[in-house]
Amino acid sequence: MNLGLKDKVVIVTGGAKGIGEAIARLIAEEGGIAVIAGRKEADNEKTVTAIRQAGGKAFGITAELGKVEDCRKVIDLTMKEYGKIDGLINNAGANDGVGLASGSPEKFMASLQNNLSHYYNLAHFALPYLKATKGSIVNIGSKVATTGQGNTSGYAASKGAINALTREWAVELLPFSIRVNTVIPAEVWTPLYETWIHSLPDPEAKLKSIVSKIPLEKRMTTSEEIAAMTVFLLSGVSSHTTGQIVYVDGGYTHLDRSIS
């Protein structure tokens, strides 16, 4: 499908690995320009190089997104390089395990800073340019905001806030034809997920237990499946869709997981 993304400039935070990388690659495959923003320059450049070698267009910006000034830098450098912004995909974040008992007030606030603040900051700084292009915003959330998980208060609060901001921004930005939606993954095999599963006492048994509870086909969602929905919502093909929280999770969140 031609999603009409040719030469559209789209910022993808955390675009060097996992879900973000799959999104950046698909934007480039659709003819868009993927601006990859993340904290590790080497990771950013590796993905940028791979996209360019495949015939796509990409640009890397090294930024610590928990810092306000770095969020401003991402927007400023994108405008300097391309002169416009057509889309923003807020994806960067990590389930950092800051729990109610195991965390602290300081760790909780740091988790919000790392997982939530840049969603607002980037959208705020990009807003004048998104108004000019009637661009769109897609946020990547998490099923944790709906289901809970335990021992991850900071991450859960951040992801719950992202759902709320999606609908708040969708209303605020109606006069400018800027659409805002969120994609919710559940169990997706990414480098971060792999690190987490291998931190457990019996990774193989835990993974088998998780997969057995995913209703559709008893398998994990792929990063490419998350990317497909994200880029669709970003594009003009979904031109009358805004304020939506879309679950791409094989039915994990809302279907009865006792289904055999």
Q: Is 120 a catalytic residue?
A: no
| Inter-residue contact 32 to 235 (CB < 8 Å) | no
Residue 148 has which token pair? 């809970």
Task: Look at the block and give the residue holding tokens 């997981």.
Answer: 257
Kindly name the residue from 119, 129, 155, 193 that is annotated as catalytic.
155
Q: Is 9 helix (H, G, I), strand (E, B) or coil?
A: strand
User: Please, which pLDDT band fits residue 196 given cuts at 50, 70 and 90?
Assistant: confident
- Percent helix, strand, coil in the chain, to 5, is 50, 15, 35
User: Please, which pLDDT band fits residue 258 given cuts at 50, 70 and 90?
Assistant: confident
Residue 90 main-chain phi, psi, to 5 deg: -85, 110
Residue 260: per-residue pLDDT = 60
What is the average pLDDT across 105-122? 98
Radius of gyration of the chain (CA): 18
Q: How far apart (Å, rounded) are the C-alpha atoms in residues 41 and 59?
A: 11
Domain 9-186+223-242: which CATH class?
A: alpha beta
Q: How far apart (Å, rounded) are the C-alpha atoms in residues 203 and 146?
A: 25
Q: Is the pLDDT of residue 23 over 70?
A: yes
Write out pLDDT tens, residues 54-85.
Answer: 999 999 999 999 999 999 999 999 999 999 99
Q: What is the pTM of this model?
A: 0.96
Q: Where are the domains of the chain?
A: 9-186+223-242, 190-220
Q: How far apart (Å, rounded) are the C-alpha atoms in residues 74 and 52?
A: 20
Residue 65: per-residue pLDDT = 98
Residue 259: per-residue pLDDT = 76
Q: Is the pLDDT of residue 9 over 70?
A: yes
